Amino acid sequence: HLKPNPASLFLACERTGVAPEQCVYIGDDERDIVAGKAAGMTTMVAAYGYCHFDPAIPSWQANWVANHADDIFPLLEQHWL
C-alpha cells in the first residue's frame, strides 16, 4: 500500500515490536504526515527535505517541524524523551 495508507507503518511496528503510539514518524511530504497520524504516531515534518519549506506545511498539522536535520534530536529531547 502506498502512503498515505498507514499499512507500511503498522507493518514496521509489528516487525519491530513497537506500538504506533510509541513512534515518531518523520516525513518530508504531506502524505507522510497523513500516514503517520492515521497510524496514531507522533509526526514531524522534515521541512528541509523534499517539501523544501512548502508554505502549506502548517496546514499538515504535524506535531513538530524540523527546519534542519540538526533540529530533529533537540525536538525529540524536548518533547519526547
Question: Tens digits of per-residue pLDDT, 25-67?
Answer: 999 999 999 999 999 999 999 999 777 778 899 999 999 999 9
Question: Tens digits of per-residue pLDDT, 7-30?
Answer: 999 999 999 999 999 999 999 999
Number of domains in the chain: 1
Query: Tell me, what's the pLDDT at 19?
Result: 98
In a domain, 2, yes or no: no
Q: Which residues pair with 64 in a beta bridge?
A: 44
Residue 35 near residue 12 (C-beta atoms within 8 A): no
Query: Tell me, what's the pLDDT at 11?
Result: 97
* Cell numbers that stand for 77 in this block: 529531547
Tell whether the model's pLDDT for residue 80 goes beyond 90.
no
The domain that holds 34 is classified in CATH as 3.40.50.1000
Backbone angles phi, psi at 50, to 5 degrees: -55, -40
Dist CA 61 CA 59 (whole Å): 5
Query: Tell me, what's the pLDDT at 81?
Result: 78
At 27 the three-state DSSP class reads: strand
In a domain, 17, yes or no: yes
In a domain, 24, yes or no: yes
Q: Which domain holds residue 74?
A: 7-79
In a domain, 71, yes or no: yes
Dist CA 65 CA 46 (whole Å): 6
Residue 66 near residue 47 (C-beta atoms within 8 A): yes
